[in-house]
Amino acid sequence: LIKVLIDAGEHVQDQVTATLPVLISSDPALQSYAVHSLFRAVEHDKGRGKVSCIACWCVGEYGELLSSKCPAEDCENLTPVTIERIMGVLTGIMDSSLSSMLVKQYVLTALIKLFARYPQSQGTLQAAIAKHSTSIVVEVQQRAVEYSALA
């Protein structure tokens, strides 16, 4: 299902993207595979589309699973990912003019969730969130200010 989602991209119906997080959260074995696969997809896609929203949701919810090897059978090439690489991808999406406002809101939410899971990177995460507190997009600015206050 995740491979189909990645290949279909923008052609996926909204109903599918709305129910996928429920499916992923209900199966612990799928969580690691999903976060690894979707992270790789968004790393190459650079923040465009529905796949990016789901990938950012997964990184926010299951980002700590990226730091270990994916245990699923189909992920031999899905190796551990450092927090620095995760941050690089997420901040790249935030800085891209091609990323939609919705994708940027998902990224900010993922960053604040990672803030709680990676204490050693809290300063970098907080700076990445605060950077967007002056965004010209009001919704992004509001979320960044609120999350900066939480951090």
Distance of CA 11 to the CA centre of its chain: 20
Contacts of residue 50, Cβ cutoff 8 Å, sequence gap at least 6? 5, 9, 10, 12, 14, 17
Question: pTM, whole model, 2 decimals?
Answer: 0.88
User: Would you say 94 and 107 are in contact if contact means Cβ atoms under 8 Å apart?
Assistant: yes
pLDDT at residue 48 in the model = 64
- The least confident of 8-17, 28-37, 57-66 is 8-17
Helix (H, G, I), strand (E, B) or coil at 12: coil
pLDDT at 74: 66
pLDDT score for 83: 92
- Mean pLDDT estimate for the chain: 86
pLDDT score, position 41: 86
Question: Rounded to an integer, what distance in angstroms lies between the CA atom of residue 48 and that of residue 42?
Answer: 8
Is the predicted pLDDT of residue 47 greater than 60, yes or no?
no
Collapsing DSSP states into helix, strand and coil, what is residue 105? helix
